[in-house]
Each structure stands twice: as C-alpha cells, then as structure tokens.
Amino acid sequence: MAERKLSSTNYYNQAFLEEKCALNELIYLLSKRWMTEVLFSIEAGNNRFTSLKDDLEHISDHILADRLKLLEQQGLIHKTHLPVNPPRTEYELSAKGAELSDLLDGLCNFAETQMQFQQFTTLIK
C-alpha cells in the first residue's frame, strides 16, 4: 500500500500521537477497514485466505492480503505456508491476538449497549 510522506503536518501529528501513547498506534491499526472482522473471522475458525474472503463477503483480495500482513507483523496472528501444490497457507490467532480479541469484545459490548449511532446504516436494505 501507499507509502507515507515523511514531510507533512499530517505525518508529524500522527507520529506525535503515537509517541505520546501506544493506544493511538493500536487504534490506528484496528481502524483500518475490515481489520477487526478479519481478526474475529480467524478466531471463528476461518484459517484460509479463501475462507476468510468468503466469510467477509465484500472484502477485496488486495485489502485482505494487506490486513493479514499487518496482523502478522504485529504478532497478532501466525501464518503457516505449506509447500504443496496448489499453495496452501493457514492462519491462526496468537496468544496476543486472543488477548486483544477479548479486550475488543468488551469494547463491542459497550458499543452495542451504550451507543446509538446509526449514521451510515440508512442505506443498507
């Protein structure tokens, strides 16, 4: 995906916030579209690229590959390549990923019970 431009207030402020508190880095990661859904889908047992893609319905190859890469880089999932033909790759949650998933469940419960958003859902039939 696109590189970041190192000279810009935009970049500088992001760096400033991430320096200030790692929470900002974590939220930045999780806020990437489909990220939490990918995490939950792996937790639910979808351990292949294609099964994830089917489970998530509207995600593109490009984005799914990117999200898997980011999750792996952060040690939230483990990736196993099996040297067979056709190629086969399996994904699973790490202990760290499972811990994060639990924290997100808490947040999810808060969101479901305490918030009344409905900003973007009016379009869905």
Residue 2's binding partner among DNA, a copy of itself, none (Cβ under 5 to 8 angstroms by kind) is DNA
Nearer to DNA, 83 or 113 (CB): 83
45 binds DNA (CB under 7 A): no
Instruction: Indicate the pairing of strand 77-82 with strand 88-93.
Output: antiparallel
8 binds DNA (CB under 7 A): yes
Q: Is the N-terminal amide bond of 86 cis, ω within 30° of 0? A: yes
Please choose, from the candidates 38, 43, 76, the residue with its C-alpha nearest in 3D space to the C-alpha of residue 56: 38
Residue 72's binding partner among DNA, a copy of itself, none (Cβ under 5 to 8 angstroms by kind) is none
Tell me the three-class secondary structure of 83-97, residue by residue. Answer: CCCCCEEEEEECHHH
With 0-12 / 13-18 / 19 or more C-beta atoms within 10 angstroms meaning exposed / middle / buried, residue 107 is: exposed
- The site map against DNA for 54-93 (x = CB under 7 A) is ----xxxxxx-xx-xx---------x------xxxx----
- Distance in Å, CB of 1 to a copy of itself, minimum: 13
Please identify, among the stretches 38-46, 50-58, 95-103, 105-113, the one whose residues bind DNA according to the rule CB under 7 A.
50-58
